[in-house]
Amino acid sequence: AVDERTLAEILEQLQPTIATQGRDVGVTWLPTAGADPSGCVTPLIAAVLQNDARAVKALVTKFHSDPQEAMWHEGCGTSAAMVAAGNGGAECLAVLLKLSGGDNPNEDAEARVNRWGHDETNAHFAARFGHERCLEVMSHATGCRLDAQNVFGRSSVHHAALHGHCTALKTLRVAGVDMNVLDHAGYSALTVAAAAGHANCVIVLLAGVAKGAAQVARNELANTPSGAKGERTRKCLHLLTEFIDS
């Protein structure tokens, strides 16, 4: 059911977030129904930042906020769904995806740059911050792409691996995302995780790769100067060697 609160009641609840975000210098927000013209934040974005899925649904279905509304900073746009994905707001993300249709599955990285000023998708945002519940929501939503690549060829798998989010990697694997995709420099998520010293991610990724891919990752690490290898990286190199020799 649509939230029975009035718009005034919702705005009052969201006011702390609206006031805080509105003080950020250089941030401009697209207007929405019921927005305070003297402020810099819209009710919909504020509701997403508060992870208030009921308010999000009410603002879109009852008070006509645009579910694809975005916030803008220095020429880069972040949609409400991207904010939810990066903020870990799985319930808000589910509502927004249902009401807006999700990502454009035919939109490539260049088109995203032209549209938003950057090339990241909802999945990139969720993977970077390790929000596996958001990734799970997207895996069941129509029109979402978990395997989209940015202008560098990096997918959500690369982002999760780089930042050490092994549970997010497991979620992506269960969703059927290609765990062996290469970026434009020829690096796999396994190589990225190993170079970053994320042993738990290496273990997850080794469960779905051939020994040849592990060999490539080991060779990349072996070519790193000894002084640049930390203890965590050496542990990853050991894991790769064990896997190859097994």
Among 100, 106, 107, CA closest to 59: 100
Supply the pTM of this predicted model: 0.85
Query: In this structure, what token pair is assigned to residue 140?
Result: 């069941």
Contact between residue 83 and residue 67 where contact means Cβ atoms under 8 Å apart: no
Sheet holding 70-73, edge to edge: 27-29, 70-73, 76-79
Q: How many CB atoms lie within 10 A of CB 231?
A: 7
pLDDT, tens digit, 9 for 90 and up, residues 67-124: 887 777 667 788 889 999 999 999 999 999 998 866 776 778 888 887 777 888 999 9
**Distance, CA of 119 to CA of 156 (rounded, Å):** 12
User: How much of the chain, in percent, has pLDDT values that exceed 70?
Assistant: 85
pLDDT top residue among 159 and 44:
159
pLDDT, tens digit, 9 for 90 and up, residues 36-70: 433 356 788 889 988 999 999 998 888 888 888 77
Res 71: pLDDT: 75
